[in-house]
Amino acid sequence: MNTSNCRVSGQPLEIAVDFGLQPLGNGFLQPEQFPGEFRYPMAVGFCETSMMLQLVEQPSPEQMFHEQYAFYSSTSQHMQYHFGDFARQVMGMGVLSKTDPFVVELGCNDGIMLRNFANAGIRHLGIEPSRNVAEVANSHGVRTISEFFCHQLAMDIVAKDGQADAFLAANVMCHIPTIVDVASGISKLLKPTGVAIFEDPYLGDVVEKTSYDQIYDEHVFLFSAHSVQYLFRQQGMELIDVQAQKTHGGSMRYVIAHAGAYPVKDSVNRLLEKEKAIGLNRMATFRKFSQQVEQSRTELIKLLTGIKAEGKRIAGYGATSKSTTILNYCGIGTDLIDYISDTTPIKQGKFSPGMHIPIKPYDFFMASPPDYAMLFAWNHAEEIMAKERAFIENGGRWIVHVPEVRVLG
Ligand code: DWN
């Protein structure tokens, strides 16, 4: 889907960063699929009206989310705790009806969050377009349908299950190009006292840390409080609270309600002021960001090339979607990185999208540790560093690129 206009305001987009041709972020593949591998021109543009940073072109949802989707949320122990806390927060906020509450989650993946509601006996519905992960959710007792959410589906759910007390989404809303239709569906799905709570990687963190790897095919938007407020105001809803999260290298949890249903917390105005101060509502900020991205690329290539010239072995740690942007934007292949270790069975034995670096199981990393490991799953650094003490003790070193390119350990 290609657009030169903002998907929210309809105004022209100004290109902020051009990443050149990119493959699918999660398009892990076999050698027989290398010829003719899908690529698309990846660039992000900014709209000063909606204040949305967004992909100019995005592959179709069906190309990205399907029965072979490679990302299972429950691969991280920390994320399991995180979603347990998220669920408990929703149960404790006083928005769920005393009798027969109903909770809907968009993009419930393998049921990592909704299973907490299922276990508490709360009526729920997961909506997950990737059939393989939806099946895992169902097998855990999480009632899940494999569909793309839209206004019409919201109306169908209301007709069948009634309106919802809470609509939840984590790392999902920023994936959906038809966000206006989704926001409209949310406004119809929620009871007058209902709340929508969703979290996504936060634009402020991406700009501050130059974590440009958060930009890939699946992330059509990177939100701020300004852009979320603009989007939901069009639907008669308002942003009533924001809560910063550590997950995914810096995320923001947004709480939305029908206008006037609840007071707006101070946190909202504080964040809006902060965003104005750092310029998240202005194009000029993204022109500068583009230069930071280029500089980060130059420094990373220099570091990896220097290490390789010393005859050292470098492996990647975590075949993340994010790594697809780094590898392809920086042109890093097997000349610099021997393999990437990943714990996800569906990725193992395949090759990284675009640059075709072999993906190896974690056992391989243990048996054949490199001299340096490039931490592509930098957002899980705390969890990974804690379990990889032996790697450092045995002389291994980490390469990170966020918030700046450097070697650790
Ligand atoms: O929004 C999205 C986020 C939530 O998840 C999706 N569009 C796709 C995906 O993005 P990602 O692939 O960048 O997410 P992660 O969570 O950074 O991926 C971590 C990867 O690293 C997984 O493939 C699992 C792997 N891993 C590992 O090999 N050892 C992870 C940990 C914690 C580990 O110890």
pLDDT in tens, the chain (409 residues): 666 899 999 999 999 999 999 999 999 999 999 999 999 999 999 999 999 999 999 998 888 877 777 677 777 788 899 999 999 999 999 999 999 999 999 999 999 999 999 999 999 999 999 899 999 999 999 999 999 999 999 999 999 999 999 999 999 999 999 999 999 999 999 999 999 999 999 999 999 999 999 999 999 999 999 999 999 999 999 999 999 999 999 999 999 999 999 999 999 999 999 999 999 999 999 999 999 999 999 999 999 999 999 999 999 999 999 999 999 999 999 999 999 999 999 999 999 999 999 999 999 999 989 999 999 999 999 999 999 999 999 999 999 999 999 999 7
Query: What was the pLDDT predicted at 67?
Result: 73
Residues with beta carbon inside 6 Å of ligand 1?
71, 75-76, 171, 218, 248, 318-322, 341-344, 377, 379-380, 383-384
Distance, CA 376 to ligand 1 centroid (Å)?
9
Residue length, the chain?
Answer: 409
Which pTM value belongs to this model?
A: 0.95
pLDDT in tens, 79-108: 899 999 999 999 999 999 999 999 999 999
Which residue among 321, 346, 366 is best mutated to probe the pocket of ligand 1, counting the most ligand atoms within 8 A of its Cβ?
321
Residue whose tokens read 């992000």: 44
SS3 labels along 306-359: HHHHCCCCEEEECCCHHHHHHHHHHCCCCCCCCCEECCCCCCCCCECCCCCCEE
Residue whose tokens read 């391989």: 364
Instruction: Give the H/E segment covering residue 294.
Output: helix 283-309
Record the tokens describing residue 274, joined without a space. Answer: 């902060």
Distance, CA 295 to ligand 1 centroid (Å)?
25
Record the tokens describing residue 129, joined without a space. Answer: 């377009």
Query: What was the pLDDT predicted at 43?
Result: 97
Query: What was the pLDDT predicted at 62?
Result: 81
- Contacts with 352 (C-beta within 8 Å, 6 or more apart), sequence order: 28, 316, 319, 323, 324, 327, 340, 358, 359
